[in-house]
Structure 1
Amino acid sequence: MKISDFIFKFKSFRMREEGLCRVRFFVNTQKEMICVLTDIDIMSNAPYLDTVCDTVIQSLYNNGYLLDCQIHILHDDFDNSMAIIDKYGNVERHLSKKQIEILTECDENEFAKKSVDILSIKRQIEKKRYEINPFINNQYLKTPEYVKREIEIQENAISKKRLKELIDAGASEWELDALIKKDLSLIAEIYSSPYDEYIVFSEFPLGERRVDFAIFSSRSTMDVTFIEIKGADFNLKKRGHYDNLNAKIEEANSQIRNHRKYIYNNYESFRKELHRVRKRAESGENIYNAFLAPKRKLQVDPNKNVNIRFVIVAGRTPENDIEESDLRYQFERDDRDVELFSWDSWIRRLRRD
């Protein structure tokens, strides 16, 4: 039975302003208190909820909303994904929509609609957003150059639907690579921070090799993310095996190891080269297919170290395959600077239609 449903305002050290999420409390016949935290997507004024859910839970306790809760659940409005988490935000296990309906003893309509599609909830969201900042939807006026570039990016944007159709058709690495190269804002949408300060490259050279995509972003200390992709024509996990990833994942990881070796064997000269490339791109040179954000120049310090990360996007993940998800998490624990995504999980991070 649901006993409460409201929009909660919280503050995290990761955020400049307060953020929002939807909170629902349930009590079942086992007398278990269940707290469901829902990520309300672009209306949240916050990062992905999974990065700050520990702060939200602590705030709920500190402010007296929660006293003794047995189960915490993280819910994403965008794709209706759900997972039981501990109070520190660590995922314990994933749930299906049916499982959460049974656990909370609610009807099938409870998680059928997005929060912004429920009028009473949408009004709460809008009220809280204006409490945070009355100009939250129009905080500053953009320069003409910014607006011009923004329009160019929007007009050439590839829809999420088009990419999903290609993935669902089991596209090859070459087909996916070709599509993303037509719209490098697909990369920026996920890995840029701030969202409008980035430079994306394709076929970026690392010694004698090249990485499929690279993105420079952030402020002060530059974040550099190198991305290797493989096709969507295989499953992440070997068929019939419960402890092995597909050989193509190891192929991509081998490429990452080579990239990492080159970078850290030549770190200082490589760091300086990254900033030289950045400046050439910012000046308008089409170096390595440079794709610039509306803000053409990054506010980074060329004298500081750079944060280097790697991403592999490859294969498919069958729906609700928890064992395969566990393999992915194990992979990331073994290589902490490498993130592995199937195309199914990667595309869910895109916020465009």
Structure 2
Amino acid sequence: MKTMDIVHNYPDGDSRLKCGLCRVRTFVNEQETVVLLTDLDNKNDGQSVTNAVERIIKSLHQMGIVIGPATYVEHYEKEDPASDTFDIITVSPIDGARWKTISREEALTLLACPSAEVDERSWDNGRIIAQADRLRFSRDPFVDSRYQESHAVIKRRLEIADGMVSKAEIEARINAGVGERDIQGLLKRDLSIFGEAYAKPDDEYICFSEFPLGDGFVDFVLLTGRSRMDVILIEIKGADFNLLNFGHYKEFNHKINQAAGQLRSRLGYIYRDVTPFRDHVHYLRIRAEEGEHVYNAFIGPHLGLQVDPQKDINIRTVLIGGRTVDDREESAKRHDFERSYSPPIRVESWDTWLRRLQRS
């Protein structure tokens, strides 16, 4: 028989200011009192029941919630009740806490309760969730709010938003079939577009335009990543041609092959002696982070990439150009094209590239 069902606010560690939450249910069978301690998963803002079980049991006795001897059962709920775990806990002054796993059937026998009692998920019990939320919000009114970013990051986000080119404007130019220079001019107005499309982690990037490399230039270069820096070379062509030619073989338009040749030439320059190139892009990264507008450097919301200048860099290439006519057919061609180059060159039409953008 169940005699109590509450959310317990237990001390979490040595600090009295820190607490955790668990569901506590007491049952009385023919021989004893059994206390079921159910972890509340994401509603528990402290240590897990497993890590805090000794403090939980002690606090239950100190507060008079449980009086006298009792058997304690630790309980973790899963999506499927049949997968729940149950462990009998014994605590001694010498050995501390010990766990003995029991089956669901053994737990039901010990609790002397119907299966519906443990089949119900705590997150579906409105009363339990309301109790847990009241306790959590009393400690921190903004407990479920998004992490508050620094003033510098917020300021930079607002600056980027003020100068942002809309997806609708880009799409209109592409649908009008404009040439390479027109698209380049539009994208140079807002280099955050490439951070949005390719940066990982999100919002951690530096983008350059008209980047000198070898005996020529790369249209855009994006620096991003953690620990090992990703260097993404981006070459663009216009939207005034179809990605694939019409005809029996439907090969890539000559402008795509021309741009791929340019990228291969740039990659050859890099890979013939990659260490100086790595040192050079890190040098440019530092200059950009210090506020220099070298090669039109544009920094994302988070100033300062968390990358190691002593580690190898990942070099990736992207070629954007042309319009999609048959996405399925072109997808296979793009994959074959990418595999035909070493290192690979990723090809995207303007139609597929637009899908990357999250802005309105």
**C-alpha separation between the residues in 2 aligned to 1:221 and 1:136?**
33
**C-alpha separation between the residues in 2 aligned to 1:291 and 1:304?**
23
Partner SS state of residue 211, structure 1:
strand
- Per the alignment, residue 293 of structure 2 pairs with 286
- The Cα of 1:266 is off from its aligned counterpart by 2.1
Are 2:197 and 1:190 aligned? Answer: yes
- Per the alignment, residue 8 of structure 2 pairs with none
**C-alpha separation between the residues in 2 aligned to 1:136 and 1:235?**
51
- Per the alignment, residue 68 of structure 2 pairs with none
**C-alpha separation between the residues in 1 aligned to 2:236 and 2:142?**
40
Partner SS state of residue 202, structure 1:
strand
CA contact (8 A) 1:214 1:224 kept: yes
Corresponding letter in the other structure for 2:336: Q
- Per the alignment, residue 322 of structure 1 pairs with 328
**C-alpha separation between the residues in 2 aligned to 1:313 and 1:321?**
15
Match 1:240 to one of 243, 247, 260: 247
Partner SS state of residue 226, structure 2:
coil
Task: Give the structure-2-normalised TM-score.
Answer: 0.59
Q: How many residues align?
A: 222
- Per the alignment, residue 304 of structure 2 pairs with 297
- The structure-2 alpha-carbon separation of the partners of 1:333 and 1:182, relative to structure 1 and needing over 3 Å to count, comes to same
**C-alpha separation between the residues in 2 aligned to 1:161 and 1:346?**
13
Are 2:340 and 1:334 aligned? Answer: yes
**C-alpha separation between the residues in 2 aligned to 1:136 and 1:207?**
52
Partner SS state of residue 309, structure 1:
strand
> 1:11-51: CA deviations, max 9, x gaps?
xxxxxxxxxxxxxxxxxxxxxxxxxxxxxxxxxxxxxxxxx
Are 2:183 and 1:151 aligned? Answer: no
What pairs up with 1:59-98 in 2 under 5 angstroms? Answer: none
- The Cα of 1:136 is off from its aligned counterpart by 9.6
**C-alpha separation between the residues in 2 aligned to 1:137 and 1:215?**
34
**C-alpha separation between the residues in 2 aligned to 1:323 and 1:242?**
11
What pairs up with 1:150-299 in 2 under 5 angstroms? Answer: 150-299=157-306
**C-alpha separation between the residues in 1 aligned to 2:216 and 2:236?**
15
What RMSD in Å do the two structures reach over aligned CA positions? 2.0
Corresponding letter in the other structure for 1:172: G
**C-alpha separation between the residues in 1 aligned to 2:186 and 2:315?**
25
**C-alpha separation between the residues in 2 aligned to 1:216 and 1:321?**
29
| Structure 1: gaps of 5 or more residues | 1-62, 65-129
**C-alpha separation between the residues in 1 aligned to 2:278 and 2:248?**
41
- The structure-2 alpha-carbon separation of the partners of 1:135 and 1:328, relative to structure 1 and needing over 3 Å to count, comes to farther
- The Cα of 1:135 is off from its aligned counterpart by 7.6
**C-alpha separation between the residues in 1 aligned to 2:184 and 2:158?**
24
- The Cα of 1:242 is off from its aligned counterpart by 2.7
Are 2:307 and 1:307 aligned? Answer: no
Corresponding letter in the other structure for 1:202: S
**C-alpha separation between the residues in 2 aligned to 1:246 and 1:138?**
50
Task: Give the structure-1-normalised TM-score.
Answer: 0.60
- The Cα of 1:321 is off from its aligned counterpart by 4.3
Partner SS state of residue 335, structure 2:
helix
Corresponding letter in the other structure for 2:347: L
